[in-house]
Structure 1
């Protein structure tokens, strides 16, 4: 059983990269309002892949356990992940429940 194929509401990192190249967006959802500790901001963010028409949302899951949401606990980790996907401008929601959408820059 291929969990990534059989679970339509989730996506792997490789699947996310493919879908972003096809015009989907990556929504960053703030799950826990971050707090500043020294020079670092820590909270909880998840990433969702959204179809161009907005009808389909898939939660990014870990490679180790396909059904566990991939959570980012620091702004540095989240921004590094988004930059690695090819995002040229990164927006990070700072309050629980807020969402920031990212699309790849096809011109760049």
Structure 2
């Protein structure tokens, strides 16, 4: 991605974990992957975002299904990846390819 493209993209993570638990998780990821996560982890303990996007896992004891969204500047969902198996996630390359299609 070009510098201009990067400036138009914002990455956010939403979790039902508390802010403190999210900080611990981010620290573990930084140690595991020897890098920096330069995006905010947002807390959704009351499930407002999860409910709005319809990704609550009815068998997950309050946990949502893993989901990735690309949302344009007008708030329109342009691409989504929702998976019931928490181990299946889109690759960074898949997300980048979908992002580049939005130009």
TM-score (norm. length: structure 2): 0.28
**Is the strand fraction higher in 1 or 2?**
1
**Is the helix fraction higher in 1 or 2?**
2
Q: Which has the larger radius of gyration?
A: 2
TM-score (norm. length: structure 1): 0.27
Q: Bigger relative contact order, structure 1 or 2, given CA contacts below 8 A and separation 6+?
A: 1
